[in-house]
Structure 1
Amino acid sequence: MEPAGTLSRVFVHNYLEEAADSSLADDVLDGLTRPFKELPPKHFYDEVGADLFDQVCDEPEYYPTRTERAILQERAAEIVELTGAAELVELGSGTAAKTRILLQAMADAGTLQRYVPFDVTEGMVRDVAAELTQEHPELTVHGIVGDFERHLEHIPAPDGPRIVAFLGGTLGNFIPGSRRRFLRQLADVLRPQDYLLLGTDLVKDPAIIEAAYNDAAGISAAFNRNVLHVINRELDADFEPDAFEHFAFFDREREWIEMRLRASRKMTVNVRALNLVIDFAPREEMRTEISTKFTPERLAEDLEASGLELAELLTDAEKMFSLTLARPAPG
């Protein structure tokens, strides 16, 4: 039970409801009727998927989470001093595991006022809000349950200097044109005194990247197949997840990792909620995620093309991952 007083500091608004089913239905209808089948990665993250991803992040092969966390631990106070942030908006907030480092730095600096977690899972948003308001008596939480590609306009008006955080390398899930379009949308959310904090994975030895998405424990495979469980549950489909093989590979030309599911045999899938029948040939592949790996030059070009300017680029010692602070370009 939450202590008295915390409920008055927590506000959660759900903008998904039936729209979530509509988004999934639209993506399945569009993506699985193409000659090359694909699904967007945002549908990985139901409660089971979020838990599986947390497990992936703990695997020794998966370097992005630990390197991003290390940068935050080393540079959080510097980020807060540079930005003067009183408020943190986090897109794809999940369990807020890394963000707590920033929130603590803001509390230590005496600037912490509000946290705005933005996620597709209402239960997770509420749980995080309850935990954080207990940890920080000065904190107000305004949770948004929504799809950040469609609901950015619901971010509340700022209470003070603001950081909008988009961590974990999620920006890399967008193809280049969509990536710049989304960055432009984020630029529109920022005032001149606000900052965007981006977590981006950097180009490196392809063997290191591929190992991160093909962990020996098989958790990445379970995470990948979970999207089929989501479709089965939400759209009354009859995918056999165990009949699909997980694999991930680094595309050296495009400098991104692709996760795919490969049908182990010929099969026919019924998606009854859509009155849709999908045929898979033996070994036919379906793409479920891309994750672009950046160079500093590519990142700077994307920011400039989106009306943003690079303020600070922070990396770990081995230059595996980066945190980038950007702000609206003048004029």
Structure 2
Amino acid sequence: MNSQFAADVDAGLSKSSKTLPSKYFYDKKGDELFMQIMALPEYYLTRAELEIFTEQTPLLIDALGMNKSQHFELIEMGAGDGSKTKFLLKGLLDQGYDFDYLPIDISGNVLEHLVETLQPELLSLSIKAQQGDYFEILKTLKDSHAPKVVLFLGSNIGNQSDEQAAAFMYSLGENLAPGDRVVLGADLIKPVDVVLPAYNDSQGVTKAFNLNLLTRINRELSGDFDVSQFEHAPEYTEEEGIAKSFIQSKVDQTVTIGAIGQTYSFKAGEKVHVEISRKYNKKVLAGILKDTDFNLVNTLKDSKAYYGDFILERSASES
């Protein structure tokens, strides 16, 4: 049994406003469902950022601000399958830049698959996969003193509250030197009729993805959730700019989780908050960056202005 999983579930379901951590979406089935989500017609995020990386590669390379005559490190936090990054990597190689590509991920399997995918396509690419926590790895990389570009794509920053995102960016800045740059991929604030379908698709894949969390609790923690008695309930307003996902109880019911030894009561219509997806504009980004040493130096958007890759530069600390 995963004791941390059990502790996190108990803590979340014991709150007056119940929650479950989104990181537990990603078991084998969850991974498969999320891959399906990214291919859905309603899920514009992946296509929008891919457009930037394929159609604006020269502009993106220029925005990195690197010198062809100086070796640098291109670091990607959470590289996934590298489907977007490979266009940037190929562009850099074709233009004669001297760099190492250092993808960071907690999963060795993800990194192994990434290397196996990229190496045959980009034979001259220097890949130095780094398994572990983002900031622990970045601390070790500081010793190289090479200029650095950090990629944090996929609007992963949006899965954090503004306070958490600000702390994350502060910690990232602490591990970089003045002049280093970050490419921060972020979904932009848009009307509800564009955003909400991305989290409530017509095929019900997102619903299955969210409810799979209850199935995982049943399997790994001996829970007795009747998944059919819960539904997927997303919310979004353009004014707030935050998409929220909930699992909602259809009826009054109780659920016992054997591994925890606790029973939890749910009222009809009661919501369990499972995920946020913050949308950004320059004002929101400025609020997150105000106590960091990052300055916004450029922004690249897709053709519909749905998505932005913000180019940030680490300035010298004033302290």
Q: TM-score range by the shorter chain?
A: 0.7 to 0.9
Where 2:254 maps in the other structure, the secondary structure is strand
1:203 maps to: 189
1:37 maps to: 18
82 and 201 in structure 1: CA distance in 2 versus 1, 3 angstrom threshold? closer
Moved more, 101-110 or 178-187: 101-110
Contact 1:89–1:116, Cα closer than 8 Å, also in 2? yes
Q: 2:75 aligns with which of 89, 95, 115?
A: 89
How far does residue 143 in structure 1 lie from its aligned partner after superposition?
3.3
143 and 51 in structure 1: CA distance in 2 versus 1, 3 angstrom threshold? farther
Contact 1:116–1:144, Cα closer than 8 Å, also in 2? no
Identity of aligned residues (%): 31
**In structure 2, how many angstroms separate the alpha carbons of the residues matched to 1:319 and 1:293?**
12
**In structure 2, how many angstroms separate the alpha carbons of the residues matched to 1:318 and 1:58?**
18
How far does residue 324 in structure 1 lie from its aligned partner after superposition?
0.4
**In structure 1, how many angstroms separate the alpha carbons of the residues matched to 2:279 and 2:55?**
23
Deviations 1:104-126 (A, max 9, x none): 22222333643333334432222
Deviations 1:31-76 (A, max 9, x none): 1111111123222223322221121111111111111111111223
**In structure 1, how many angstroms separate the alpha carbons of the residues matched to 2:223 and 2:137?**
32
2:129 maps to: 142
**1:94 alignment partner AA:** G
**1:305 alignment partner AA:** D
**In structure 2, how many angstroms separate the alpha carbons of the residues matched to 1:258 and 1:290?**
5
Q: 1:313 aligns with which of 299, 305, 312?
A: 299
Gapped regions of structure 2 (runs ≥ 5): none
Contact 2:243–2:276, Cα closer than 8 Å, also in 1? yes
TM-score, structure 2 normalization: 0.87
Deviations 1:237-291 (A, max 9, x none): 3333333211211044422111111122233223333333222222221111111
Q: 1:236 aligns with which of 222, 245, 253?
A: 222
Contact 2:235–2:244, Cα closer than 8 Å, also in 1? yes
Q: 2:233 aligns with which of 247, 253, 266?
A: 247
1:106 maps to: 92
Where 1:204 maps in the other structure, the secondary structure is coil
107 and 271 in structure 1: CA distance in 2 versus 1, 3 angstrom threshold? farther
1:299 maps to: 285
2:250 maps to: 264
Contact 2:107–2:131, Cα closer than 8 Å, also in 1? no
**1:157 alignment partner AA:** L
230 and 92 in structure 1: CA distance in 2 versus 1, 3 angstrom threshold? farther
Moved more, 233-242 or 196-205: 233-242
Moved more, 306-315 or 111-120: 111-120
**In structure 2, how many angstroms separate the alpha carbons of the residues matched to 1:290 and 1:323?**
20
Q: Which runs of 4+ in 1 moved over 6 A?
A: none
Q: 2:46 aligns with which of 65, 69, 75?
A: 65
1:154 aligns with 2:140: no
Give the superposed CA RMSD.
2.3
How far does residue 309 in structure 1 lie from its aligned partner after superposition?
0.7
TM-score, structure 1 normalization: 0.84
